[in-house]
Structure 1
Amino acid sequence: MQIHPLAGALSVSAQIDVDDIAELAAQGFRGIVNNRPDGEEPGQPDNATLESAARTAGLAWRHIPVAGMPFAPATLQEFGAALEELPGPLLAFCRSGTRSSALWAMQAPGTADEILATARAAGYDLSMLRPWLG
Protein backbone atom coordinates (compact mmCIF):
# COMPACT_ATOMS: atom_id res chain seq x y z
CA MET A 1 0.00 0.00 0.00
CA GLN A 2 1.47 3.30 -1.10
CA ILE A 3 -0.02 6.38 0.56
CA HIS A 4 0.26 9.76 -1.17
CA PRO A 5 -0.16 12.83 1.08
CA LEU A 6 -2.29 15.25 -0.93
CA ALA A 7 -3.44 18.33 0.97
CA GLY A 8 -3.85 19.13 4.64
CA ALA A 9 -5.03 16.03 6.48
CA LEU A 10 -6.00 14.21 3.25
CA SER A 11 -3.97 11.43 1.66
CA VAL A 12 -4.96 9.19 -1.23
CA SER A 13 -4.06 5.69 -2.33
CA ALA A 14 -4.94 2.88 -4.65
CA GLN A 15 -7.24 0.07 -3.49
CA ILE A 16 -6.68 -0.98 0.10
CA ASP A 17 -7.32 -4.44 1.53
CA VAL A 18 -8.65 -5.61 4.88
CA ASP A 19 -5.08 -6.32 5.99
CA ASP A 20 -4.16 -2.64 5.42
CA ILE A 21 -6.78 -1.28 7.84
CA ALA A 22 -4.86 -1.98 11.07
CA GLU A 23 -1.72 -0.47 9.54
CA LEU A 24 -3.63 2.68 8.58
CA ALA A 25 -4.93 3.01 12.14
CA ALA A 26 -1.40 2.47 13.50
CA GLN A 27 -0.14 5.23 11.17
CA GLY A 28 -2.63 7.62 12.76
CA PHE A 29 -5.39 7.73 10.16
CA ARG A 30 -8.79 8.31 11.74
CA GLY A 31 -11.09 8.12 8.72
CA ILE A 32 -11.34 6.47 5.30
CA VAL A 33 -13.35 7.37 2.19
CA ASN A 34 -13.94 4.55 -0.30
CA ASN A 35 -14.51 5.93 -3.81
CA ARG A 36 -14.81 2.53 -5.53
CA PRO A 37 -18.10 1.00 -6.58
CA ASP A 38 -18.49 -2.60 -5.44
CA GLY A 39 -17.71 -5.12 -8.18
CA GLU A 40 -15.64 -2.73 -10.26
CA GLU A 41 -12.88 -5.31 -10.59
CA PRO A 42 -12.70 -9.06 -9.89
CA GLY A 43 -11.18 -9.86 -6.50
CA GLN A 44 -11.74 -6.37 -5.13
CA PRO A 45 -12.88 -6.42 -1.48
CA ASP A 46 -16.45 -5.16 -1.12
CA ASN A 47 -17.34 -2.02 0.78
CA ALA A 48 -19.14 -3.83 3.63
CA THR A 49 -16.09 -5.99 4.39
CA LEU A 50 -13.72 -3.02 4.40
CA GLU A 51 -16.10 -0.85 6.40
CA SER A 52 -16.51 -3.55 9.05
CA ALA A 53 -12.73 -3.87 9.43
CA ALA A 54 -12.33 -0.09 9.60
CA ARG A 55 -14.99 0.34 12.25
CA THR A 56 -13.48 -2.53 14.27
CA ALA A 57 -10.16 -0.64 14.14
CA GLY A 58 -11.90 2.54 15.35
CA LEU A 59 -11.81 4.36 12.01
CA ALA A 60 -14.64 6.45 10.60
CA TRP A 61 -15.85 5.35 7.16
CA ARG A 62 -17.67 6.86 4.21
CA HIS A 63 -18.55 5.14 0.91
CA ILE A 64 -18.84 7.57 -2.00
CA PRO A 65 -18.59 5.35 -5.08
CA VAL A 66 -17.72 6.98 -8.39
CA ALA A 67 -17.30 5.08 -11.64
CA GLY A 68 -15.62 7.87 -13.55
CA MET A 69 -15.77 11.47 -14.61
CA PRO A 70 -17.55 13.79 -14.94
CA PHE A 71 -18.65 13.76 -11.31
CA ALA A 72 -22.23 14.58 -10.40
CA PRO A 73 -22.58 17.76 -8.32
CA ALA A 74 -24.12 15.69 -5.50
CA THR A 75 -21.03 13.46 -5.47
CA LEU A 76 -18.74 16.48 -5.16
CA GLN A 77 -20.89 17.81 -2.32
CA GLU A 78 -20.84 14.45 -0.56
CA PHE A 79 -17.05 14.20 -0.85
CA GLY A 80 -16.64 17.76 0.44
CA ALA A 81 -18.90 16.96 3.39
CA ALA A 82 -16.84 13.86 4.16
CA LEU A 83 -13.65 15.95 4.23
CA GLU A 84 -15.28 18.32 6.71
CA GLU A 85 -17.13 15.77 8.86
CA LEU A 86 -14.76 12.82 9.17
CA PRO A 87 -11.89 13.01 11.62
CA GLY A 88 -8.44 13.43 10.12
CA PRO A 89 -5.97 12.39 9.08
CA LEU A 90 -8.11 10.93 6.33
CA LEU A 91 -7.37 8.47 3.51
CA ALA A 92 -9.44 8.43 0.32
CA PHE A 93 -8.94 5.57 -2.12
CA CYS A 94 -10.13 4.20 -5.43
CA ARG A 95 -8.53 1.80 -7.93
CA SER A 96 -5.44 3.97 -8.47
CA GLY A 97 -6.06 7.09 -6.37
CA THR A 98 -6.79 9.27 -9.41
CA ARG A 99 -10.56 9.57 -8.87
CA SER A 100 -10.05 10.35 -5.19
CA SER A 101 -7.50 13.03 -6.12
CA ALA A 102 -9.83 14.43 -8.77
CA LEU A 103 -12.72 14.65 -6.28
CA TRP A 104 -10.46 16.73 -4.04
CA ALA A 105 -9.22 18.88 -6.94
CA MET A 106 -12.70 19.76 -8.18
CA GLN A 107 -13.40 21.64 -4.97
CA ALA A 108 -9.94 22.61 -3.78
CA PRO A 109 -9.16 26.26 -3.15
CA GLY A 110 -6.50 27.93 -5.26
CA THR A 111 -5.70 28.46 -8.89
CA ALA A 112 -5.70 25.66 -11.44
CA ASP A 113 -1.89 25.78 -11.48
CA GLU A 114 -1.71 25.42 -7.68
CA ILE A 115 -4.20 22.56 -7.58
CA LEU A 116 -2.49 20.69 -10.42
CA ALA A 117 0.94 21.19 -8.82
CA THR A 118 -0.34 19.78 -5.51
CA ALA A 119 -1.78 16.74 -7.28
CA ARG A 120 1.39 16.28 -9.32
CA ALA A 121 3.52 16.37 -6.14
CA ALA A 122 1.34 13.53 -4.82
CA GLY A 123 1.94 11.55 -8.01
CA TYR A 124 -1.27 12.30 -9.91
CA ASP A 125 -1.59 14.02 -13.29
CA LEU A 126 -4.95 15.78 -13.25
CA SER A 127 -4.21 18.12 -16.16
CA MET A 128 -7.38 16.93 -17.92
CA LEU A 129 -9.34 18.79 -15.20
CA ARG A 130 -7.70 22.18 -15.84
CA PRO A 131 -10.82 23.75 -17.47
CA TRP A 132 -12.87 23.07 -14.32
CA LEU A 133 -10.34 24.09 -11.66
CA GLY A 134 -9.69 27.29 -9.76
Structure 2
Amino acid sequence: MDIQKLSPRLGICGQVELSNIPEIVQAGYRLLVCNRPDDEERGQPGFTEVAEAAQSAGLATLYLPIAGPSDFARQAPAMAEAMRTASGPVLAYCRSGARSSMLCTAALAP
Protein backbone atom coordinates (compact mmCIF):
# COMPACT_ATOMS: atom_id res chain seq x y z
CA MET A 1 0.00 0.00 0.00
CA ASP A 2 1.41 3.36 -1.06
CA ILE A 3 0.31 6.21 1.22
CA GLN A 4 1.30 9.73 0.21
CA LYS A 5 1.45 12.05 3.24
CA LEU A 6 0.16 15.53 2.44
CA SER A 7 0.73 16.64 6.03
CA PRO A 8 1.28 14.97 9.42
CA ARG A 9 -2.53 14.68 9.77
CA LEU A 10 -3.51 13.89 6.17
CA GLY A 11 -2.65 11.14 3.72
CA ILE A 12 -4.03 9.84 0.43
CA CYS A 13 -3.79 6.54 -1.38
CA GLY A 14 -5.34 4.40 -4.09
CA GLN A 15 -8.01 1.77 -3.53
CA VAL A 16 -8.00 0.32 -0.02
CA GLU A 17 -8.33 -3.44 0.18
CA LEU A 18 -9.65 -5.17 3.28
CA SER A 19 -6.17 -6.58 3.90
CA ASN A 20 -4.81 -3.00 4.15
CA ILE A 21 -6.89 -2.07 7.21
CA PRO A 22 -4.39 -3.31 9.85
CA GLU A 23 -1.57 -1.39 8.12
CA ILE A 24 -3.68 1.79 8.06
CA VAL A 25 -4.47 1.49 11.77
CA GLN A 26 -0.83 0.69 12.59
CA ALA A 27 0.25 3.81 10.66
CA GLY A 28 -1.83 5.86 13.11
CA TYR A 29 -4.76 6.91 10.93
CA ARG A 30 -8.04 7.43 12.80
CA LEU A 31 -10.42 8.32 9.96
CA LEU A 32 -10.68 6.60 6.57
CA VAL A 33 -12.48 8.66 3.91
CA CYS A 34 -13.67 6.90 0.75
CA ASN A 35 -13.87 9.16 -2.30
CA ARG A 36 -14.51 6.33 -4.74
CA PRO A 37 -18.09 5.61 -5.82
CA ASP A 38 -19.25 2.04 -5.30
CA ASP A 39 -19.27 -0.13 -8.44
CA GLU A 40 -16.93 2.20 -10.31
CA GLU A 41 -14.88 -0.81 -11.38
CA ARG A 42 -15.63 -4.51 -11.36
CA GLY A 43 -14.15 -6.28 -8.34
CA GLN A 44 -13.46 -3.24 -6.16
CA PRO A 45 -14.59 -3.63 -2.55
CA GLY A 46 -17.63 -1.50 -1.82
CA PHE A 47 -17.63 1.16 0.86
CA THR A 48 -19.85 -0.87 3.21
CA GLU A 49 -17.39 -3.77 3.08
CA VAL A 50 -14.38 -1.52 3.75
CA ALA A 51 -16.25 0.42 6.45
CA GLU A 52 -17.23 -2.73 8.36
CA ALA A 53 -13.62 -3.99 8.37
CA ALA A 54 -12.28 -0.55 9.30
CA GLN A 55 -14.78 0.03 12.10
CA SER A 56 -14.13 -3.40 13.59
CA ALA A 57 -10.44 -2.38 13.76
CA GLY A 58 -11.32 0.89 15.54
CA LEU A 59 -11.05 3.14 12.48
CA ALA A 60 -13.80 5.70 11.82
CA THR A 61 -15.07 5.95 8.23
CA LEU A 62 -16.74 8.50 5.98
CA TYR A 63 -18.15 8.12 2.46
CA LEU A 64 -17.67 11.20 0.24
CA PRO A 65 -17.75 9.81 -3.32
CA ILE A 66 -16.40 11.87 -6.21
CA ALA A 67 -17.95 10.72 -9.50
CA GLY A 68 -17.54 13.93 -11.49
CA PRO A 69 -16.18 17.47 -11.41
CA SER A 70 -19.24 18.99 -9.69
CA ASP A 71 -18.73 16.65 -6.73
CA PHE A 72 -15.56 18.44 -5.58
CA ALA A 73 -17.39 21.64 -4.60
CA ARG A 74 -20.26 19.65 -3.09
CA GLN A 75 -18.04 17.38 -0.97
CA ALA A 76 -15.29 19.88 0.00
CA PRO A 77 -17.15 21.33 3.03
CA ALA A 78 -17.76 17.85 4.49
CA MET A 79 -14.13 16.91 3.88
CA ALA A 80 -12.94 20.12 5.55
CA GLU A 81 -15.15 19.40 8.56
CA ALA A 82 -13.91 15.81 8.77
CA MET A 83 -10.27 16.92 8.67
CA ARG A 84 -10.97 19.54 11.33
CA THR A 85 -12.83 17.26 13.73
CA ALA A 86 -11.12 13.88 13.28
CA SER A 87 -9.61 12.42 16.43
CA GLY A 88 -6.32 11.87 14.60
CA PRO A 89 -4.78 11.58 11.14
CA VAL A 90 -7.09 11.19 8.13
CA LEU A 91 -6.50 8.89 5.15
CA ALA A 92 -8.55 9.54 2.00
CA TYR A 93 -8.67 7.14 -0.93
CA CYS A 94 -10.08 6.68 -4.42
CA ARG A 95 -8.90 4.53 -7.33
CA SER A 96 -5.49 6.16 -7.72
CA GLY A 97 -5.46 8.86 -5.05
CA ALA A 98 -5.86 11.72 -7.56
CA ARG A 99 -9.47 12.62 -6.69
CA SER A 100 -8.68 12.38 -2.99
CA SER A 101 -5.76 14.76 -3.47
CA MET A 102 -7.92 17.24 -5.38
CA LEU A 103 -10.70 17.02 -2.78
CA CYS A 104 -8.24 17.63 0.07
CA THR A 105 -6.85 20.64 -1.80
CA ALA A 106 -10.38 22.00 -2.28
CA ALA A 107 -11.21 21.36 1.38
CA LEU A 108 -8.12 23.25 2.54
CA ALA A 109 -8.74 26.26 0.27
CA PRO A 110 -9.80 29.46 2.03
TM-score (normalised: structure 1):
0.76
In structure 1, distance between residues paired with 2:108 and 2:85:
16
In the alignment, what sits opposite 1:67? 67
Give the greater-gyration-radius structure (CA).
Answer: 1
Note the C-alpha offset of 1:27.
1.5
Structure 1 segments, 4+ long, off by >6 Å, are none
TM-score (normalised: structure 2):
0.91
Structure 1: state its 5+ residue gaps: 110-133
Higher relative contact order (CA 8 A, sep 6+): 2
**Secondary structure, in 3 states, of the residue corresponding to 2:71?**
coil
Task: Give the root-mean-square deviation of aligned CA atoms.
Answer: 1.5
2:45 is equivalent to residue 31 of structure 1: no
Letter in 2 for 1:31: L
In the alignment, what sits opposite 1:99? 99
Structure 2: state its 5+ residue gaps: none
Identity %: 37
Letter in 2 for 1:106: A
In structure 2, distance between residues paired with 1:97 and 1:23:
17
The alignment covers a number of residue pairs equal to 110
Asked if structure 1 preserves the Cα contact closer than 8 Å seen for 2:80 and 2:108, the reply is: no
Letter in 2 for 1:40: E
Deviations 1:63-120 (A, max 9, x none): 10111324353311111111112222110000000101001112325xxxxxxxxxxx
